[in-house]
Amino acid sequence: MEGRIKFVDPKTRKWGFIVPADKSRDVHFDIGEFVGPTPSVADADAPVTFELVEQGTSREAKRIQLVNPPAPVAIEPATDSADLNPAELLKVYVLQAQARAQDRDVRERRLGCVQHRARRQVVRPDPRAVRA
The 10s digit of each residue's pLDDT in 77-104 is 666 666 677 787 788 888 888 888 777 7
Q: What is the pTM of this model?
A: 0.52
Round to whole Å and give the CA distance between 33 and 115.
39
Check residue 82 and give its pLDDT: 63
* Percent of all residues in the chain with a pLDDT value above 90, rounded to a whole number: 30
Which phi and psi (to 5°) does residue 113 adopt?
-130, 165
Q: How many CB atoms lie within 10 A of CB 26?
A: 15
Domain 2-66 fold: OB fold (Dihydrolipoamide Acetyltransferase, E2P) (2.40.50)
Give the integer Cα–Cα distance in Å for 61 and 49.
9
Question: What pLDDT score does 16 carry?
Answer: 93
In the chain, CATH 2.40.50.140 sits at: 2-66
Q: What is the predicted pLDDT for the residue at 109?
A: 64
Question: What is the per-residue pLDDT for 20?
Answer: 95
**Res. 70: pLDDT tops 70:** no
Q: What region does 100 belong to: left with phi over 0, alpha with psi -120 to 50, or beta?
A: alpha
Q: pLDDT per residue over 37-50, tens digit each? A: 888 888 888 899 99
Number of H helices, E strands in the chain: 1, 7
Beta bridge partners of 60: 28, 53
**Nearest-angstrom CA–CA distance, 132 and 130:** 6
